[in-house]
Structure 1
Amino acid sequence: MSTTMTRRHLAKLGLGFGAGALLSRSAFAQAPAFFRIGTGGTAGTYYPVGGLLANAISNPPQLVLTAQASNGSVANINAIASGALESGFSQADVAYWAYTGTGLFEGKGKLEDLRLLANLYPESIHLVAAKSANIKSVADLKGKRVSLDEPGSGTLVDARIILNAWGIKESDLKADFLKPNQAAEKMRDGGMDAFFFVGGYPTSAITELAATGGGIDIVPLSGPEADALIKQYSFFSTDEIPANTYKNVGAVKTLAVGAQWITSAKVPDNVVYEVTKNLWSDKTRAALDAGHAKGKFIRKETALAGAGIPVHPGAAKFYKEAGLLKS
């Protein structure tokens, strides 16, 4: 049998190799992409919003998103940097500090692989006080039992910034470091005077406390101290929690930071593109409007607001197509 290869044989062989390569690429393209979202404590806003987005954006079997409870912004940033999570929610300030190696991350090195997928909604800073504690301003926290939130949370970072702005030292307080739901339970039992929480309103822990406890106040964060903070930190903005957001609580002027969806430069562009495209689909829009009070604030038009870190190339591709980002 001759071993001479004719042009016809080579052509057939080439077609075979080509078909095999196409099949291989097709199989690879159909391989499921798993995309985890680090959220926050179950009593906060990150957790329900994360679950809502995961359900709406997932397109199995090709794209599967899952939301995971976590300790919040700092924990999520660290998990993304280590590869333990593909993405997570973070306050804009925490993401900026991590990327630049400043603030909370001073001396820990820059986490330069962090990338923005989308800015989501403003997170209001709540300073919740038991009515019986008679706390009307930050200055009244001296000598009180106050929870600053747990280590690893963005709330703890901002609570310390706020205390400093009002001239309060941590040693001036009887400080505790609890999740919001734990702090609320302790307040309901008479063991806590006030606690900080940063998140979209309304949040379940505060809603339940206002409805079942002895009444609460939301302490305003306004005036010259707040103005100075906004001037010093560009990620802070003025905000107002509307009247009756929480039972028997009037409108309260406060501060806010952006809640952002962060990912890693190491996550493939095509995966992030699909997640971003599905985030701004009609299906997700309907789920956001119906699923959570903060859903209506998650708008494509503000997806790049307050971007203190680079936008992921996969997300940037979508935003360019949508006319939100120049080439």
Structure 2
Amino acid sequence: MNRRLFSMVGAIAFCIAAGGVTLAQQPQFFRIGTGGTAGTYYPIGGLIANAISNPPGSRPCEEGGSCGVPGLIATAVSSNGSVANVNAIAGGSLESGFSQSDVATWAHAGTGIWEDREPVEKLRAIANLYPETIHLVASAQSGIDSVDDLAGKQVSLDEPGSGTLVDARIILEAYGLSEDDVEAHYLKPDQAAERMRDGAMDAFFFVGGFPAGAIAELASQHDITLVPISGEEAATVRDEYTFFAENIVPAGTYDGVEEEVTTLSVGAQWITSADQPEDLIYGITKALWNDNTRKLLDAGHQKGQQITLETALDGVGIPLHPGAEKFYREAGVLSE
């Protein structure tokens, strides 16, 4: 009887142990909300997702395999952009996402565009990534050379839920304009570019790293003007909203744009929820900054080269996730 009981206990213990091993080998999925497929968020999100992933059964990093988080399968998910990503993280339908620094800060504090909404107090930062350039693209045939010239024109401000729409409204206001002063449309940049090629759109806003795919494709087929956002009006924006900085688009970035253009930029940041496990975010942050990821970012996109550990905390206006904070302290980026 005792022997049978001992055997049963042993069998149960073995099953529990085996089950634990099986559970440990189960993949863990981690989504990164990005933006439209024609923008910069999406390809950068794909690069990062590939870098931090290490599916079950992959070869270890030291054997030439994945250098990501063991068992993690990360995916870049196309979305409407910053505001949509914040909402999705708050609602639990995304584990993480990209956001403009201004949108993330306002959402966390319940200020700015979030002042009439519940603050997203659990919003946390993983890293600042790169500066996002505010593009104001106009058809050369439209005669638009300044923001003032947008009055009465067909202008796309980007789709609802995007950070671009937020910034476009701020810029219009700085120049004494509003959505009522233009023929406003709310389209993704590739849709706006298509209408511009057809002669049905005079200008559109887009916030993203240059060169942006939709704009580069448009410029190769249609004469465009990259409208400067500078002078006293831009200085007013920078003074009122400290997330903005002066930004230069180099000459030749887009076909036909032969001179550098002064505009504004905001930081692109990778954000998550305080509810995500500390060990997971620590591993993800560590994987973001290893040598393998560095090679992928440098080779994968021009903006990838600007994603550096030295600038990982620049412009971060919300608390760091404890897992990310732990890594940055260990790396000496964040002091006591």
TM range (shorter): over 0.9
Query: Which residue does 2:68 correspond to in 1?
Result: none
Cα shift at 1:20: 8.3
Name the residue aligned to 1:51.
Answer: 46
Are residue 162 (structure 1) and residue 171 (structure 2) matched?
yes
State the alpha-carbon separation in 1 of the partners of residues 115 and 17 from structure 2. 49
The aligned residue for residue 69 of structure 1 is 78
The AA in structure 2 aligned to 1:123 is E
**2:74 maps to 1:79:** no
Partner Cα distance (1:310, 1:183) in 2: 36
The alpha-carbon deviation at position 68 of structure 1 amounts to 0.7
8 Å contact from structure 1 (residues 241, 253) kept in 2: yes
* Partner residue in 2 for 1:33: 28
Partner of 2:291: 282
Aligned to 2:67: none
TM-score, L = length of structure 1: 0.92
Give, in angstroms, the shift of residue 32 of structure 1: 2.4
Secondary structure, in 3 states, of the residue corresponding to 1:212?
coil
The separation in 2 between residues aligned to 1:154 and 1:67, in whole angstroms, is 18
Alignment pair present for 1:235 and 2:230? no
> How large is the RMSD of aligned CA atoms in angstroms?
2.0
Task: Determine the structure 2 residue equivalent to 1:256.
Answer: 265
How far is the alpha carbon of 1:53 from its aligned partner? 1.0
Give the secondary-structure state (helix, strand or coil) at the position aligned to 1:121. strand
Counterpart code for 1:159: A
Partners of 1:102 and 1:127 in 2: CA distance = 26
Q: Which amino acid aligns with 1:226?
A: A
Question: C-alpha distance in 2, partners of 1:319/1:2?
Answer: 55
Match of 1:146 among 155, 171, 190: 155
> What CA distance in whole angstroms lies between the structure 2 residues aligned with 1:18 and 1:2?
16
- Distance in 2, matches of 1:2 and 1:148, equals 77
User: Residue 207 of structure 2: SS of its match in structure 1?
Assistant: strand
Which among 225, 228, 232 is matched to residue 220 of structure 1?
228
Q: Deviations along 1:45-104, whole A, 9 cap, x unmatched?
A: 001111111112211121110011100001111000000000000000010111011111
1: CA distance, partners of 2:315 / 2:133: 15
The CA deviation at 1:120 is 0.3
Aligned residue pairs, count: 318
Q: Is the 8 A contact 1:33 1:271 kept in 2?
A: no
Structure 2 unaligned blocks of 5 or more: 57-70
Q: How many Å apart are 1:290 and its aligned residue?
A: 0.5
Residue equivalent to 1:206? 215
TM-score using structure 2 length: 0.90
- Alpha-carbon distance in structure 1 between the residues aligned to 2:20 and 2:280: 15
Q: Quick one: distance in 1 between partners of 2:20 and 2:114?
A: 41
What percent of counterpart residues are identical? 61
Q: Deviations over 1:96-125 (max 9, x none)?
A: 111011111122111011100110000000
